[in-house]
Structure 1
Amino acid sequence: MAGPFTEVALLLINTFVSLYVLIILLRFLLQMARADFYNPVTQFFVKATNPLLVPLRRIIPGLGGIDLSSLVLAWIIQTAGMAIIFTLLYGGQFPPFLYLLGWGVLAIIQTVLNIYLFSIIIIVILSWVAPQSYNPAVLMLNQLTGPLLSKIRKVMPDMGMLDLSPLIALLAIQVIEIFMRHLAASISLPSQLVLGL
């Protein structure tokens, strides 16, 4: 059983790694959604990630409008965090390298799914309680989820005033998460290593 100092270390590592990976992935997804980068919330993401991201972009260029350096940075930090936590949990033992790489990819995918899951839930709730909100965070969430929901609306029959696209998106995310959980179990991903999920 881990001592109190190890538990504190695990908590701090988990928190900081999860938050920073979340910020990097939000920046990546907002770029993909062509969101307004003059939004003060988005500006925070840019300023928080630039110190590591700008040097990495000199090594890893974008590909077809996709900011690969953001994805690679998120994966590196996620994987490093998982390696440190594994080492602390298992008495200095380093995890199998190939497993660690796969665990990092799964954690990144799961974090992206959670970003969309919680963003859509927040947008739906706000559409009931504050439909005309111009809060920068709300505008950012609308810009983030807009492209996904609009693609779903294009293939759905017209339901008049009733928009079921958020419900379809949430169901699709939950279906993917079920498969992700089974995949994580199949590659022996310890539950303690699942950062930000």
Structure 2
Amino acid sequence: MSRALWFLIETLGSLLATACLLRAAAMRFQLPPRNPVSQFVIAITDWLVRPLRKVLAPSRGNDWASLAAAVLIALALGLVWAVMFARGSDPKFIAVIPLAVFWLVKWAIYLVMGLVLLHAVLSWVNPQAPVAPTIEQLTRPFLAPLRRVVPLIGGVDLSPLILIVIAQVLLTLFESLFFSLVAAA
């Protein structure tokens, strides 16, 4: 029962934190606030980001309140995990911060992978979709360096595939490093 409950809590927390990261990316990459992605992300996260914005104002294109919201969600998930899986002993609160960092990096990598995958699918299926320019603007900073190095092959841009492979390798290396550090502790 606790595994199923944890799955639901982790899924909801991950989706909300990823939406906060996407909101921060939207501001960083200067997305217009009236596009469908921005409107959706703002609608989902505004209840959490708006109060934080009173303390953490945006500066130089960085949405510190959205990033802080993602961090708070990761820390809250870490606390819930520590309490739920204490196994009869004292909760391991020392694991909360490393877990939060691990989840934030994992969510950011998954966000990039998801956006790049969506961009690639839209470019093949419906490049004129209303959301396509927004996804292009979000993925351009990640794909542009690869596009300078990787040539088109038969008119096909392989940079999204290469970026997804690189992101997956980074995620695998980060997970191995994290779990080896946890095992050593």
**Number of equivalenced pairs:** 181
Return closer, same or farther for 1:157/1:149 CA change in 2, 3 Å cut-off.
closer
Structure 1 residue runs of 4 or more that deviate by more than 4 Å after TM superposition: none
Q: Which residue of 2 aligns with 1:77?
A: 73
2:7 to 2, 5, 11: 11
Q: Any idea what the Cα deviations from partners look like across 1:108-162, whole Å, max 9, x if unmatched?
A: 11111111112212222232232x33233x44322211222123223x1544733
Return closer, same or farther for 1:170/1:11 CA change in 2, 3 Å cut-off.
closer
What does 1:24-173 correspond to in 2, within 5 Å?
24-91=20-87, 93-97=90-94, 99-130=95-126, 132-136=127-131, 138-154=132-148, 156=149, 158-159=151-152, 161-173=155-167
Q: State the distance in 2 between where 1:40 and 1:117 align.
A: 20
Q: State the distance in 2 between where 1:106 and 1:72 align.
A: 15
What SS is found at the alignment partner of 2:53? helix
* Conserved? CA contact 1:13–1:85, under 8 Å: no
Return closer, same or farther for 1:157/1:146 CA change in 2, 3 Å cut-off.
closer
Which consecutive unaligned segments of at least 5 residues does structure 1 have? 190-197
Return closer, same or farther for 1:42/1:65 CA change in 2, 3 Å cut-off.
closer
TM-score (norm 2): 0.84
What SS is found at the alignment partner of 1:163? coil
- Cα RMSD (Å): 2.3
Shift of 1:67: 1.6
Q: State the distance in 2 between where 1:20 and 1:157 align.
A: 34
Return closer, same or farther for 1:162/1:16 CA change in 2, 3 Å cut-off.
closer
Shift of 1:64: 3.1
2:180 to 175, 179, 186: 186
Q: State the distance in 1 between where 2:18 and 2:25 align.
A: 10
* Conserved? CA contact 2:21–2:70, under 8 Å: yes
Structure scoring higher RCO (CA < 8 A, sep ≥ 6) equals 1
Q: Any idea what the Cα deviations from partners look like across 1:147-196, whole Å, max 9, x if unmatched?
A: 22123223x1544733232123122212211221122213328xxxxxxx
TM-score (norm 1): 0.80
